[in-house]
Structure 1
């Protein structure tokens, strides 16, 4: 079971870490978490989907056609035009404890350094080092956007607008990832004025439109799958493929 390191002067005393040099840590992750602030860029470079985790819907970028294999990663390189923010914050993560957000570092990431090596989390005065502070500020900003995204997704679900990916599309892709969902366009078109206004107030409409507009990007997954990237040399980018075709939240670092 994961035992994350809480980022605080006390917990991190004497500990150091290594910065990740690549994204090999995500090579087995076919679904990458996203927030609504990434929609414009992400939807133009990969298909998006909603998945159910417990009682909540999550927005993800679909980066593979089978579990455990990310087609956008080869030899630790990210091949796509847009690089999701989650890749830059890992292995830092925010978890909620009561009404506070606690930033943690994954002990099982392999990036905790041996004594005398790596980068410190805090300096001798108990202040975060620049590398840590930069990542945490970005993580806090993304977290607030993620909270707003979750509210919008909740409204989409409550109004009955979420539907599975079409079976024909899944079959065409040879998709073996379960639980991918999109927006039911017919149900969206039939919404009454009050429900439509509810979507607008929740800022859910951009998510609804982006989800379905991103589906043509599945052609890129099909092409990447045919490349058999496990054996082929990684290209520098995917240019050739594309040419062809807010609530306040407190954070506690003092404990």
Structure 2
């Protein structure tokens, strides 16, 4: 968040906000943040990837094939079966300050006002109901994001994170750089102690889900024809996944 406003009675005095009426605020976001608690539903709905931001790995849902266009959002409505939790708390975010987290709101969101709009706090300094609901949901998600970060750090230490295949980029017409998955061969060759450390860090479900979600790029291709941006999607991605053993996990191994 480039220009945050701390959510407090003092900082928000004289300011109001406008709750989003739809999801248009995320129509230009091709990557949506996810936490591990969303894995099961998200992986069945969209491809997942790992990206590196400021030396830390993040779990994201890949919602587009080009930057600046979210294929899942059309006319402010979500076209998929699962809607990521991040969308429900925007424009609020928790920013780490030392060991504590501070709730902030994006000044550049276009949702801040002065006289018109809803107040953040009442005269007694209590959060309004609309703000409180979002902040509580945000706090819950934040704890899950923290656990997810620990799991991703464990995966990174074992050096099993690898870029998406170039062939998939080419086949999909993908222009978003930095998408990563798990190197299944490297994961299977880890010694028992290292593999157990991933299990204790609850990193294995993320590893499996990310790779198993890649066939959902089929959906991106279909959405690109329904909700086109600048890049034309291929008619068929089936050939890429046919007999591709590198994108499957043997759970019995």
Which bin holds the TM-score, normalised by the shorter protein?
0.7 to 0.9
| Alignment correspondent of 1:234 | none
Preserved CA contact (<8 Å) 2:161 2:183: yes
CA distance in 1, matches of 2:206, 2:229: 33
Q: Deviations over 1:67-86 (max 9, x none)?
A: 11111111111111100111
When residues 30 and 152 of structure 1 are mapped into structure 2, their CA distance, relative to the original with a 3 A threshold, is: same
Preserved CA contact (<8 Å) 2:29 2:67: yes
The alignment partner of 1:37 has SS state of helix
Q: Deviations over 1:136-184 (max 9, x none)?
A: 1111111111011001001101101101111111111011111110000
Q: TM-score, normalised by structure 2?
A: 0.88
**Bigger Cα displacement from structure 2, 219-228 vs 85-94:** 219-228
Preserved CA contact (<8 Å) 1:50 1:60: yes
Q: Which runs of 4+ in 1 moved over 4 A?
A: none
Q: TM-score, normalised by structure 1?
A: 0.87
CA distance in 2, matches of 1:91, 1:183: 31
CA distance in 1, matches of 2:50, 2:227: 26
Preserved CA contact (<8 Å) 2:71 2:224: yes
Preserved CA contact (<8 Å) 1:48 1:215: yes
Structure 2: state its 5+ residue gaps.
231-253
The alignment partner of 1:191 has SS state of coil
| Alignment correspondent of 1:111 | 111
Structure 1: state its 5+ residue gaps.
232-255
Q: CA deviation at 1:228?
A: 4.4
The alignment partner of 2:22 has SS state of coil
| Alignment correspondent of 2:152 | 153
Q: Deviations over 1:102-125 (max 9, x none)?
A: 10111111111231x211111111
Q: Deviations over 1:85-111 (max 9, x none)?
A: 111111001101112111011111111
CA distance in 2, matches of 1:130, 1:228: 35
What value does the CA root-mean-square deviation take over the aligned residues? Answer: 1.4
The alignment partner of 2:137 has SS state of helix
| Alignment correspondent of 1:132 | 131
| Alignment correspondent of 1:57 | 57
Preserved CA contact (<8 Å) 1:50 1:57: yes
With CA pairs under 8 Å and 6+ residues apart, which has the higher RCO, 1 or 2?
A: 1
- Do residues 195 (structure 1) and 194 (structure 2) align? yes
